[in-house]
Structure 1
Amino acid sequence: MATEQLSPRDRTRRLYALLTEQPLSLYATAVLRIGYGLLYLGFLLREFPHRDEIWGPGSPWTPELAAQLYDQTGWASILALSESRTYFELCYALAVVTSALFALGWRTRAVSVLFALVVASFHSRSIFMTDGGDNLILLMAFYLVLTACGQRWSLDARRAARHGATGDGRTTAPAGQLRYARTTLVTVLHNCGLIVIAVQVCFLYGSAGLYKVQGGTWGSGTAMHYVLNLELFRPWPALSQIADEQTVLLAITAYGTVLLQVAFPFVLFGRLKYPVLTMLLGMHIGIAVLMGLPLFSGAMIVADLVFLPDRFYLALRRLCGRAARRTVRRAGPGKPTSQASEGLPTTALLPQQGGAKGPVENGLRASPLPSPPSSTRPPTTAP
Structure 2
Amino acid sequence: METEPAPAPEPRTALRQGAGAPQRVPDRVRATLVALTERPVSLYAAAVLRIGYGLVYLAFLLREFPHRHEIWGPGSPWTPELARQLFDQTGWVSVLTLSDSRAYFESCYALAVGVSALFALGWRTRAVSVLFAVVVASFHGRAIFMTDGGDNLILLMAVYLVLTACGRRWSLDARRTRLRTCAGAGKRTPANRITDGLRHHLGTSRRTLTAVLHNCGMFVIAAQVCFLYGSAGLYKVQGSSWGNGTALHYVLNLDLFRPWPGLSLMADEHDVLIAIACYLTVLLQVAFPFVLFGRLKYPVLTALLGMHLGIAVLMGLPLFSGAMIIADAVFLPDRFYLALARMWRRTARRAGSGEPADAARPPRAPVPAQSEPPGVIAREWSVPSLRGGRRR
For the criterion TM > 0.5, the same-fold answer is: yes
User: What is the rounded CA distance, in whole Å, between the counterparts of 2:387 and 2:67 in structure 1?
Assistant: 37
Determine if contact 1:162/1:348 at 8 Å carries over to the other structure. Answer: no
Q: Secondary structure at the match of 2:144?
A: coil
> Residue 101 of structure 2 aligns with which residue?
84
Q: Secondary structure at the match of 1:28?
A: helix
2:266 to 198, 222, 242: 242
Matched to 1:27, the amino acid is Y
> Residue 32 of structure 1 aligns with which residue?
49
User: What is the rounded CA distance, in whole Å, between the counterparts of 2:89 and 2:313 in structure 1?
Assistant: 36
For residues 310-363 of structure 1, what are the alpha-carbon distances to aligned partners after superposition, in whole Å with 9 as ceiling and x for unaligned? 00011101111111111111189xxxxxxxxxxxxx74669xxxxxxxxxxxxx
TM-score for the superposition, normalised by structure 2: 0.82
TM-score for the superposition, normalised by structure 1: 0.84
Confirm whether residue 136 of structure 1 aligns to residue 153 of structure 2: yes
User: What is the rounded CA distance, in whole Å, between the counterparts of 2:57 and 2:86 in structure 1?
Assistant: 24
For residues 141-160 of structure 1, what are the alpha-carbon distances to aligned partners after superposition, in whole Å with 9 as ceiling and x for unaligned? 00000000000000000000
Larger Rg: 2
User: Residues 5, 59 of structure 1: CA spacing in aligned structure 2 closer, same or farther, 3 A cutoff?
Assistant: farther
Bigger mean CA deviation after superposition, 279-288 or 63-72: 63-72
Q: Secondary structure at the match of 2:167?
A: coil
> Residue 192 of structure 2 aligns with which residue?
none
Determine if contact 1:29/1:147 at 8 Å carries over to the other structure. Answer: yes
User: Residues 286, 25 of structure 1: CA spacing in aligned structure 2 closer, same or farther, 3 A cutoff?
Assistant: same
Confirm whether residue 295 of structure 1 aligns to residue 319 of structure 2: yes
> Residue 224 of structure 2 aligns with which residue?
200
- State the Cα distance separating 1:7 from its structure 2 match: 3.9
1:151-166 mapped onto 2 (5 Å cutoff): 151-164=168-181
1:1-383 mapped onto 2 (5 Å cutoff): 7-164=24-181, 173-330=197-354, 347=385
- State the Cα distance separating 1:73 from its structure 2 match: 1.9
User: What is the rounded CA distance, in whole Å, between the counterparts of 1:133 and 1:189 in structure 2?
Assistant: 25
For residues 272-317 of structure 1, what are the alpha-carbon distances to aligned partners after superposition, in whole Å with 9 as ceiling and x for unaligned? 0000000000000000000000000000000001111000011101
User: What is the rounded CA distance, in whole Å, between the counterparts of 1:331 and 1:252 in structure 2?
Assistant: 45
User: What is the rounded CA distance, in whole Å, between the counterparts of 2:239 and 2:49 in structure 1?
Assistant: 33
User: What is the rounded CA distance, in whole Å, between the counterparts of 2:39 and 2:22 in structure 1?
Assistant: 24
- Percent sequence identity is 72
User: What is the rounded CA distance, in whole Å, between the counterparts of 2:270 and 2:172 in structure 1?
Assistant: 48
Matched to 1:273, the amino acid is K
How many residues align structurally?
334
User: Residues 164, 172 of structure 1: CA spacing in aligned structure 2 closer, same or farther, 3 A cutoff?
Assistant: closer
User: What is the rounded CA distance, in whole Å, between the counterparts of 1:349 and 1:122 in structure 2?
Assistant: 38
User: Residues 5, 280 of structure 1: CA spacing in aligned structure 2 closer, same or farther, 3 A cutoff?
Assistant: farther
Q: Secondary structure at the match of 1:112?
A: helix
Determine if contact 1:20/1:188 at 8 Å carries over to the other structure. Answer: yes
User: What is the rounded CA distance, in whole Å, between the counterparts of 2:144 and 2:331 in structure 1?
Assistant: 30
Matched to 1:237, the amino acid is P
Determine if contact 1:54/1:126 at 8 Å carries over to the other structure. Answer: yes
User: Residues 228, 182 of structure 1: CA spacing in aligned structure 2 closer, same or farther, 3 A cutoff?
Assistant: same
Q: Secondary structure at the match of 1:58?
A: coil
- State the Cα distance separating 1:197 from its structure 2 match: 0.4
- State the Cα distance separating 1:105 from its structure 2 match: 0.2
Matched to 2:283, the amino acid is L
User: What is the rounded CA distance, in whole Å, between the counterparts of 2:178 and 2:213 in structure 1?
Assistant: 23
Matched to 1:260, the amino acid is L
| CA RMSD in angstroms, aligned pairs only | 2.2
Q: Which runs of 5+ in 2 are unaligned?
A: 1-20, 186-194, 357-383
Larger RCO (CA under 8 A, 6+ residues apart): 1
Matched to 2:197, the amino acid is A
Matched to 1:140, the amino acid is M
